[in-house]
Amino acid sequence: MTLSSPDPATAFRAARDAAFVAWLPGVAVLEADGPDTIAFLHAQLSSDVAGLQAGAAQWSTYNSPKGRMLATLLVWRPAEGPACRLALAADLAEPIRKRLSMFVLRSKVKLVVPDPAPPALGVGGPAAADAVRRALGVDAAPLRAVDVDGGGTSIGLPDGRILVVAPPAAAGAIHARLAAHAAAAGEDAWRWLGIRAGVAQVTLATQERHVAQTANWEVVGGVSFAKGCYPGQEIVARSQHLGILKERAHPFHVAAPPPAPATPVYSRTFGEQACGSIVDSVALPDGGSDLIAVVQLAAVESGDLHVGAPDGPALERLPLPYALPASAPKRVKL
């Protein structure tokens, strides 16, 4: 696998108007195999893994007992066998494998971060599905995982991006096939589309900072409220049913270099106290940065937000591509 340095302006233009393909070194895959895989993951993750059919995918989260997200995940079931694959931030793959392994006990489940790792490729832009169809001969429908001829799997995301995971020996050839129909891009183009899609993905720097709903993960489809217990479920359910959320994830633009994950956000409404923090950010070719941050709703409504310090660069709110549910407290019948 060779990581090139494509022109950012060309890459972001393709992300807006056409299609791009990018190597994704920041994405890793955790493999779960064995007869108890589905039941085990269903009891650990926030999504309905038990209802996941072969060849289907879903967003999910893995939480601490206090309901804070340890990882955000794209989970899919291969076409054959009681197995699951979990795509997550590369810097979390081994820590999450180790933590999940603590709870395997007598379950017949094997958790592995492959070495060498299967490279991840990202295809994005309005013509992404067409590029994948022409290059790989598969239909990249949202939340479907399809085997690719020559090795690998194509997984469609709900926001239109497509993740392609390939065996190391086949990755270069698959990238070349995709590059014949899509512009070469860096990982920033992929992350930028995720930010604009309102998908706040957890990395090592942002672990245990947010409950799933405060980062909108129940809205994008990563939380099931119909399933039984899993780590943090009581906190997640209470936040949902009492309607007491005070913060949410929003995309923003800032006329400054990209702030690091976990950088605090301030507002005059909250004075010297931070009212939120950065989840991810990317530099734009024409200047400034786009980012996604979890921020107190009262501060968002004030329209006066600054990053890094109370007098730091101002944040300009960008539109979310989905509606947020009302967060007014709900009456509880006694």
The reported pTM is 0.94
Mind spelling out the 3-state secondary structure of the chain?
Answer: CCCCCCCHHHHHHHHHHCCEEEECCCEEEEEEECCCHHHHHHHHECCCHHHCCCCEEEEEEEECCCCEEEEEEEEECCCCCCEEEEEEEHHHHHHHHHHHHCCCCCCCCEEECCCCCCCEEEEECCCHHHHHHHHHCCCCCECEEEECCCCCEEEECCCCCEEEECCHHHHHHHHHHHHCCCEEECHHHHHHHHHHCCCCCCCHHHCCCCEHHHHCCCCCCCCCCCCCCCCCHHHHHHHHHHCCCCEEEEEEEECCCCCCCCCEEEEHHHCCCCCEEEEEEEECCCCCEEEEEEEEHHHHHHCCEEECCCCCCEEEECCCCCCCCCCCCCCCCC
The pLDDT of residue 327: 61
pLDDT tens profile 51-102: 999 999 999 999 999 999 999 999 999 988 789 999 999 999 999 999 999 9
Which whole number is the average pLDDT over 175-185? 98
Domain architecture of the chain: domains with CATH: 8-195 (3.30.1360.120), 204-317 (2.40.30.160)
pLDDT at 214 over 50: yes
The overall average pLDDT reported for the chain is 94
Residue 311 has pLDDT above 80, yes or no: yes
pLDDT at 334 over 50: no
Q: What does the pLDDT read at residue 4?
A: 56
What is the model's pLDDT at position 81? 76
Percentage of the chain beyond pLDDT 90 is 89
Average of pLDDT values for 296-319? 96
pLDDT tens digits along 105-150: 999 999 999 999 999 999 999 999 999 999 999 999 999 999 999 8
CA distances from 176 to 11, 22, 23, 88 (A): 16, 11, 11, 24
pLDDT in tens, 225-279: 998 899 999 999 887 777 678 999 999 999 999 999 999 999 998 999 999 999 9
Q: What per-residue confidence (pLDDT) applies to 333?
A: 43
Predicted pLDDT at 331: 45
Instruction: Supply the pLDDT for residue 332.
Output: 41
pLDDT at residue 198 tops 60? yes
